[in-house]
Amino acid sequence: MSAQCCQHPETPAVGHCTGCAEAFCGNCLLELGGSLYCGSCKVLALGGRTPMLEKMMSPCEEAGSAMSSAVIGFFIFGFILQPMAIIKAFGARKQIAANPLLTGWGKANAALTLALIGLTLTILNFVGKVSQ
Ligand SMILES: [Zn+2]
Ligand SMILES: [Zn+2]
């Protein structure tokens, strides 16, 4: 008979934990997203979703700023904006590497690539004008 709670042998079990399949009494089981979990499995289930961590994560502003500089630099002030974007992108990557709660690694890399292309085009354009 497994009709008793595995943590309270004197209390009848009311259900099974979705996580570990053990029998638990009403005091031990907690409902989470429509499923029943025991105390320790609830912590694991929550840990898998990490809603707290997601809330604490924030996009790295430096990465966004690097991206805008790189994009605007394609049209105007490339000589100033592209090197600025490169510096910002490196700064953003440093910030993100140091702080696991910051997101935007992909954006920082994209901004860096874009800025390098933009700067090359700006220089080529400049050289082209000068040699005419
Ligand atoms: Zn469990
Ligand atoms: Zn119990």
Task: Measure the CA–CA gap between 47 and 120, rounded to whole angstroms.
Answer: 46
Q: Which segments of 5-104 does DSSP mark as H helices, in order?
A: 39-49, 51-56, 61-73, 78-98
What separation in Å is there between the alpha carbon of 10 and the centre of ligand 2? Answer: 9
Number of domains, the chain: 2
What separation in Å is there between the alpha carbon of 51 and the centre of ligand 1? Answer: 20
Does the pLDDT value for residue 99 go beyond 90? no
Confidence of residue 95 (pLDDT cuts 50, 70, 90): very high
Residues linked to residue 15 through DSSP beta bridges, in sequence order: 24
Claim to verify: residue 42 and residue 66 sit in the same structural domain: no
pLDDT score at 1:
47
pLDDT score at 55:
66
What separation in Å is there between the alpha carbon of 45 and the centre of ligand 1? Answer: 10
Residue 127 domain-assigned (yes or no)? yes
Claim to verify: residue 19 and residue 63 sit in the same structural domain: no
Claim to verify: residue 34 and residue 92 sit in the same structural domain: no
Claim to verify: residue 107 and residue 118 sit in the same structural domain: yes
Structure tokens at 126: 């400049």
Claim to verify: residue 19 and residue 73 sit in the same structural domain: no
The pLDDT of 17-43, averaged and rounded, is 89
How far does CA 83 lie from the centroid of its chain?
A: 27
pLDDT score at 50:
53
pLDDT score at 119:
94
Write phi, then psi, for 31 (nearest 5 degrees): -90, 135
Whole-prediction pTM: 0.56
How far does CA 2 lie from the centroid of its chain?
A: 43
The pLDDT of 16-39, averaged and rounded, is 90
Average pLDDT, the chain: 88
Domain of residue 107 covers 57-131
